[in-house]
Structure 1
Amino acid sequence: MADPIAALTNAQAARAEAATRVQAPTAAGMDVEQLSAFYGRFQALAEITLPIHPGAVTAVIGPSGCGKSTFIRCLNRLHELTPGARVTGSVRLEGVDIYQPGVDPARVRQLVGMVFQKPNPFPTLSIYDNVLAGVRLHRPRLSRAEADEIVERSLRAAALWDEVKDKLKAPGSSLSGGQQQRLCIARALAVEPLVLLMDEPTSALDPIATYRIEELIWELKQRYTIVIVTHNMQQAARIADYVAFLLAGEDRTGRLIEFDTAQRIFTNPKRKETEDYITGKIG
């Protein structure tokens, strides 16, 4: 099998790799160095530098408007889809800068998947076809046996298989909100990412559905690197191994105030701004 990281800069190799049976993913690390993000003349992020540790959950916290969502969108080049948006600095996936010339953005987004704030299954597609939506972009000649295997594996990984195995042809939109979000997670997992980005994945869910997603995140980090944006400090304390705290000043530009283990951030932060935020004094 072709090296998935090396295939970032070789579209032909990427297609060849995608045509083979995909092995179980290995969680990959990322390194963010001096990352700044812009929307036209407005600077949303300034010189963010931090590691994304493999096989761990990194929570990105901070008040609204500090650039949390922009930050994780920069980790798989979704940011650049906004007209006028650009970045400076580097984001390395296992040593390869995803912004270097020759890197295929579509391949980046396959290896670094995204789950959004609101569940967004394709409403006209069945549960089965929702799971396969991304896979078929890379493997259009997928056999039925291969498709069945990917659907079951992905739904099992998202802790949804037992709930939907008898209604795979039902519309994805027929599921509850929590089930729809797990379906979106299954869709992201189906293309075998190395890193999974989650932008407030439980903010639109009830407490029971939120608990199930948190349980799932804990299980998924055994195989994937996870970066999650959350406004919920209790959630961050429950599920995160590392925490990055962003804060914007009067110029509305987000900056990294502190990065450390979750235990240190929530028990003994180094910066007063961090303590003030997690105790509710600011934000």
Structure 2
Amino acid sequence: MLSIEIKVEALHAWYGNDEVLHGIDLAIEPRSVTAIIGPSGCGKSTFIRCLNRLHETNPGARVAGHVWVGGEDVYRMDPIDVRRTIGMVFQRPNPFPTMSIFDNVALGLKFAGVKDRRRLRARVEESLAMAALWDEVKDRLHQPAMSLSGGQQQRLCIARALAVEPRVLLMDEPTSALDPISTMRIEELVQNLKQTYTIVIVTHNMQQAARIADQTAFFLDGHLIEVGPTSKVFTKPDDKRTEDYVSGRFG
């Protein structure tokens, strides 16, 4: 039997009285890429924010159901521990603007209690290397993070998420604000990172999902309509609504 890294069971989510996720069940294998697709407002971003308990930080937001990561129920864990276990990269690069490149990556480690400068530097270097950024910034680590290009800033945010050694990396449309070359670099990076991490990526780009995802899940109106191997979802979907979406009839 295949192992499961993330198991979502009967997941519901609300903003106030508005239910936006309706009983989502989904299993994700370790060291794989799962793309979450669907039209705007279908619940994609809410879903991944539920995985690391960011959804509940919104006033009036609540969740019911279960999310297990590595066999642990994240809703029984300390939220800080959850967000170390499940890293997040957002749609637009969000480096801390007053901090250097080095300090952006090191911040999470310092919060985790790492004080030894040598250990900090080694982990920062390793994280920047994993994010395919080390060679570009190794001679200017103490320059402002905002001196980087948009694509470099997004890879810096990936390095920051990786520094605390998560099990899972969530990515919410991480290339939607980037140029084609930067997008390609992020996609190549995702393919490399899945050798170590389990990745869940929200994308509006059907071609991107087809290029990088092992599994694709199609959401519509807060429901999970279909999930399966990406090639099947795009070429032989079981549900007519999936076929209509991936073929561009709506969305």
Measured against the shorter chain, the TM-score band is: over 0.9
1:29–1:94 CA contact under 8 A, matched in 2: yes
Which residue number in structure 2 is paired with residue 29 of structure 1?
5
Distance in 2, matches of 1:185 and 1:135, equals 14
Aligned residue among 78, 84, 87 for 1:113: 87
2:4–2:27 CA contact under 8 A, matched in 1: no
Shift of 1:142: 1.5
1:97-136 to structure 2, matched below 5 A, reads 97-100=73-76, 103-136=77-110
Shift of 1:127: 0.2
Supply the AA of the counterpart residue of 1:60: I
What are the ranges of 5 or more consecutive residues in structure 1 without an aligned counterpart?
1-26, 249-253
Shift of 1:94: 1.8
Bigger drift between 128-137 and 65-74 goes to 128-137
Q: Does residue 67 in structure 1 map to residue 43 in structure 2?
A: yes
Which residue number in structure 2 is paired with residue 255 of structure 1?
223
Distance in 2, matches of 1:177 and 1:40, equals 35
Shift of 1:57: 0.1
1:15-54 to structure 2, matched below 5 A, reads 29-54=5-30
The count of corresponding residues between Structure 1 and Structure 2 is: 249
| Matched position secondary structure for 1:99 | helix
List, as ranges, runs of 4+ consecutive aligned residues in structure 1 with deviation greater than 6 Å: none
Distance in 1, matches of 2:188 and 2:171, equals 14
**What are the superposed Cα offsets for residues 87-118 of structure 1, whole Å, 9 maximum, x if unpaired?**
11100112221113xx2010000000000000
RMSD: 1.0
TM-score by length of 2: 0.98
Which residue number in structure 2 is paired with residue 22 of structure 1?
none
1:57–1:228 CA contact under 8 A, matched in 2: yes
Q: Does residue 77 in structure 1 map to residue 46 in structure 2?
A: no
| Matched position secondary structure for 2:87 | strand
1:28–1:55 CA contact under 8 A, matched in 2: no
Which residue number in structure 2 is paired with residue 168 of structure 1?
141
Distance in 2, matches of 1:71 and 1:142, equals 35
1:28–1:194 CA contact under 8 A, matched in 2: no
Distance in 2, matches of 1:143 and 1:96, equals 30
Supply the AA of the counterpart residue of 1:270: D
**What are the superposed Cα offsets for residues 197-254 of structure 1, whole Å, 9 maximum, x if unpaired?**
0000000000000000000000000000000000000000000000010001xxxxx1
Distance in 1, matches of 2:28 and 2:161, equals 19
| Matched position secondary structure for 2:75 | coil
1:29–1:93 CA contact under 8 A, matched in 2: yes
1:58–1:241 CA contact under 8 A, matched in 2: yes
Which residue number in structure 1 is paired with residue 195 of structure 2?
222
Q: Does residue 155 in structure 1 map to residue 112 in structure 2?
A: no
Shift of 1:28: 7.2
Supply the AA of the counterpart residue of 1:195: V
Distance in 2, matches of 1:52 and 1:75, equals 12
What are the ranges of 5 or more consecutive residues in structure 2 without an aligned counterpart?
none
Distance in 2, matches of 1:281 and 1:134, equals 44
